[in-house]
Structure 1
């Protein structure tokens, strides 16, 4: 018996008891809504199980009343989870996790292949935090400009020892925050409740991060986007895995803006990301040097047509009100003396979520970020809804495939943080179970669109590009990797005029090397090859 299977066996062994937290169900159907009092009765039963388990209940689905493993059809199981989610919502709870297993010899077809499944759902008290109360901040800055130290002090509330002590909290492999928030991108998280900041005592401990998620009414996740050499790759993962709401660029007072600072600022602003500049390490220099660096940062921002807003002069409220793609708040900080940390706390507590907020009325679109297969559910495509809304039962198109075609699929179910939902809108991070396609046929970079979208696959497009860094020049046939939405693909560049030099902005024709993708006018992208880096905007697409 595998360890996973042991979860099921333990739940069955515990069994249904009067006053216990385990409940057996063979199947739950949507017809319960139409039966007088039945839905309310089951919701009350679920509430009783949750209270009996001190806030947690276990539902075993696909078993008989006495715990016998029956197994049910995958579609029936999916329907059961939808109903269980509605029951949980009615009872002030949510589905935290679902594990499923195939049932040998139950519901098998003539070939003896397993088609019946049984599952264990963990139901917890309380509703799932709305994504509107979770903002994601992408950090950037030159190496040794205090980015990780600043974030370490924010998430722990501890002053640095002057040797980067709080930075050590973040010198770990990327981790997952509980409930799927900031999965494998967030390297720091803290929150706020009615009494103020909720911080981590020991960020190395997963249960401490979980405590912050549980206690906070609002969460702030920091994503390490552009620190060391893999900065571009992690930037794109951050933009894709969870759309960033804000950028935080650090500039050390003892060093000032560098070439790397300019590159990182270009990346953040090229994606129209509202950005905050934190001048760090002000404890190491005198007041005159701080003012000098502030002026350098302001000049740098004006060079790229941005308006700096000094927080010490105009206040935090003005920064919250004015921050956008063109207005950039600037403040001074020190992780050692904690100068500026209260102002950052106030900013992050009140800044609104921006990702997807203005695209909810458009047609549905979601680029596939990850794919996986769930027993009893089938192929699942996850990502952030780019625009519009999607509902369970919707007919969609998936593609383009290698040959440029799109495949018709159906939305079997939608999950957000293990919580079954009927629909999801722009800005939401979701997993969509798809009917009509195998997981092996879904690839990162594909897109989900409405069935009537009539999309054209794009192999080649025109773009306005800016070269941030390159050792010589970019000529015809130059082949970097283009990162656009979830697409990461080698592409050949053909600049107008035959070449582009470092710092140049100009037009170029871009052609994907291996396959077409769904590309739209106005989309931002980043390209890199070795030490060469640049950004661009799609200006015209040419259908395959």
Structure 2
């Protein structure tokens, strides 16, 4: 009797032991396999919006048709923030018709001509047979930075327990070199001497992973020698910012602050195969799913684990992904075909990678996935480039010979050198005039940055701190002393109860401050669904609709701001007096 091939483990790209373990007959895994098979048989109807385009064939188009196709490609690229996916041989209803080899080659040649005409790069991702087996379907990736954008920007925030291999996997991807098994690769990511001594990340740091138009990594040459940042940025068509974070629970406030202020496009959860889903990793997973940000999982140390450890780690990850209310489907990724299938399904699928930082196994596959990650926040923000300038201050520095420097993402408009802008709120809630003296993006000097881009801006004329806003005078926003928010409590022991007057740390966009819960709203079952939170110190700028995270010793809640309340005159005067006494 011939056994039917398993759809999950039919490609022996991962080690044979791993492929064998993926055949485990777990009910959850059977559900995952069935979903993957169904998704490969048919595509959803072509979306009217977005960056995905279906084409049945493109053979000898007329001049008028070519103009239409060129305009269409520009639209898809704009919708995808500089990236578009073309499915050739697919009908508008998603049916996989397929083309003959000759027709497919002619269609690809036409598409390449159109891409060249708009100044875009063209990469063939894969060919696959049609359902009847008589035709071929091609998936093509087109990329072009917008007119005032040097390259496509994507932010990936990396979460995971201490010792899971977060810093190491980031360092291996960025350097192209394998780890020695003792953490040598991660040393360049550490920002403090005690991190080097203990081997434990205690702060957030960012590493850049750059790609050219064909998806080649630009961080290093063929001999793995690191390249100058200026050369990397001049050749890059896409840059992925990998944001490392602490895993230890005692640094959780630092992690939450980084997650709130960096506004990532994607979240990567790193899980050690030897330890599996720890309680800290489970909390990170719950938080990522609650924030509704696209998530993917990287299981590390597959070279060190036993077969049963890897099996349990995979099952635990799948159970965590399919937690009640998440509406996510886990999908193990072992080859490029799995990778593209997971990418096409978007936020509904959570890809799971299996890598070794020591042997380098599957790191190239993970790098290819990074190259295809869509940008999310920058697409939405690029449409605001014509508005007055506004930048959220996520970090601050004092650089010798330069002075005060604020770093963050431009939320709208353009910030140029020599601009006269306003910075605040200051201690009394006011905004002070500053002058932009210089701008750096990806460690290279530039004269201007636009909405959706991250930069460091040197300013003079006012005190700086995290949580401020740099904007034009006409755009000075109102400050608030307290706000109302709808909440979802995701981590609170049953024996503990939230009460009015409870202190907590508040993380909302780039703001991090101590707060006090002034009021709690509960549903019919007694569960907390909303709250009024007051900032304990000075007023802040909080936008309605912003994500907010509340954290204390034993509880964590995530929600969105529904309304704000401005500070009273007495409160503003008291905050200003307190701030003045601190600086005397």
Asked whether the two chains share a fold, i.e. TM above 0.5, the reply is yes
- The counterpart of 2:169, out of the listed 116, 140, 150, is 150
The equivalent of 1:247 in structure 2 is: 267
Q: Could you tell me how far apart the structure 1 residues matched to 2:413 and 2:149 are?
A: 17
User: For the Cα contact (< 8 Å) 2:484–2:533, is it kept in 1?
Assistant: yes
Aligned-residue offset at 1:462? 0.9
The equivalent of 1:230 in structure 2 is: 251
Distance 1:331 1:213, change over 3 A: farther
- The counterpart of 2:294, out of the listed 264, 274, 278, is 274
User: For the Cα contact (< 8 Å) 2:449–2:455, is it kept in 1?
Assistant: no
Q: Could you tell me how far apart the structure 2 residues matched to 1:231 and 1:298 are?
A: 24
Distance 1:450 1:148, change over 3 A: closer
The equivalent of 1:21 in structure 2 is: none
Does 2:225 correspond to 1:173? no
Moved more, 326-335 or 363-372: 363-372
The equivalent of 2:565 in structure 1 is: 542
Does 2:499 correspond to 1:482? no
Q: Could you tell me how far apart the structure 1 residues matched to 2:449 and 2:172 are?
A: 38
Aligned-residue offset at 1:459? 0.8
Aligned-residue offset at 1:263? 1.5
How big is each residue's C-alpha offset from its partner over 1:246-268, in whole Å with a ceiling of 9 and x where there is no partner?
32111233433232112112343
Q: Could you tell me how far apart the structure 2 residues matched to 1:185 and 1:130 are?
A: 26
Distance 1:271 1:528, change over 3 A: same
SS in 2 for 1:520: coil
- The counterpart of 1:529, out of the listed 552, 567, 570, is 552
Aligned-residue offset at 1:428? 3.0
Q: Could you tell me how far apart the structure 1 residues matched to 2:169 and 2:476 are?
A: 48
Unaligned ranges ≥5, structure 2: 1-147, 194-202, 568-584
The equivalent of 2:320 in structure 1 is: 300
- The counterpart of 2:356, out of the listed 322, 329, 334, is 334
Moved more, 279-288 or 488-497: 279-288
Q: Could you tell me how far apart the structure 2 residues matched to 1:514 and 1:192 are?
A: 44
The equivalent of 1:466 in structure 2 is: 488
Aligned-residue offset at 1:378? 7.8
Q: Could you tell me how far apart the structure 1 residues matched to 2:206 and 2:397 are?
A: 24
Q: Could you tell me how far apart the structure 2 residues matched to 1:226 and 1:275 are?
A: 18
User: For the Cα contact (< 8 Å) 2:392–2:410, is it kept in 1?
Assistant: yes
Aligned-residue offset at 1:418? 5.0
SS in 1 for 2:361: coil
User: For the Cα contact (< 8 Å) 2:296–2:350, is it kept in 1?
Assistant: yes
Q: Could you tell me how far apart the structure 1 residues matched to 2:550 and 2:179 are?
A: 36
The equivalent of 1:311 in structure 2 is: 333
Aligned-residue offset at 1:211? 3.7
The equivalent of 1:214 in structure 2 is: 231
The equivalent of 1:139 in structure 2 is: 158
Q: Could you tell me how far apart the structure 2 residues matched to 1:509 and 1:477 are?
A: 10
User: For the Cα contact (< 8 Å) 2:412–2:450, is it kept in 1?
Assistant: no
Aligned-residue offset at 1:344? 0.2
Q: Could you tell me how far apart the structure 2 residues matched to 1:244 and 1:487 are?
A: 16
User: For the Cα contact (< 8 Å) 1:356–1:387, is it kept in 2?
Assistant: no
Q: Could you tell me how far apart the structure 2 residues matched to 1:423 and 1:211 are?
A: 21
User: For the Cα contact (< 8 Å) 2:270–2:298, is it kept in 1?
Assistant: yes
Over the aligned positions, Cα root-mean-square deviation in angstroms equals 4.0
User: For the Cα contact (< 8 Å) 1:270–1:535, is it kept in 2?
Assistant: yes
Greater strand proportion: 1
User: For the Cα contact (< 8 Å) 2:407–2:456, is it kept in 1?
Assistant: yes
The equivalent of 2:343 in structure 1 is: 320
Distance 1:369 1:338, change over 3 A: closer
Distance 1:390 1:165, change over 3 A: closer
The equivalent of 1:457 in structure 2 is: 479
Q: Could you tell me how far apart the structure 1 residues matched to 2:404 and 2:168 are?
A: 41
Q: Could you tell me how far apart the structure 1 residues matched to 2:403 and 2:160 are?
A: 42
The equivalent of 1:516 in structure 2 is: 539
Distance 1:389 1:156, change over 3 A: closer
User: For the Cα contact (< 8 Å) 2:478–2:566, is it kept in 1?
Assistant: yes
Aligned-residue offset at 1:510? 0.5
Q: How many residues align?
A: 395
Unaligned ranges ≥5, structure 1: 1-128, 176-183, 202-206
User: For the Cα contact (< 8 Å) 1:158–1:166, is it kept in 2?
Assistant: no
Aligned-residue offset at 1:513? 0.7
Q: Could you tell me how far apart the structure 2 residues matched to 1:310 and 1:148 are?
A: 22
User: For the Cα contact (< 8 Å) 1:385–1:424, is it kept in 2?
Assistant: yes
SS in 1 for 2:466: coil
Q: Could you tell me how far apart the structure 1 residues matched to 2:398 and 2:506 are?
A: 28
The equivalent of 1:356 in structure 2 is: 378
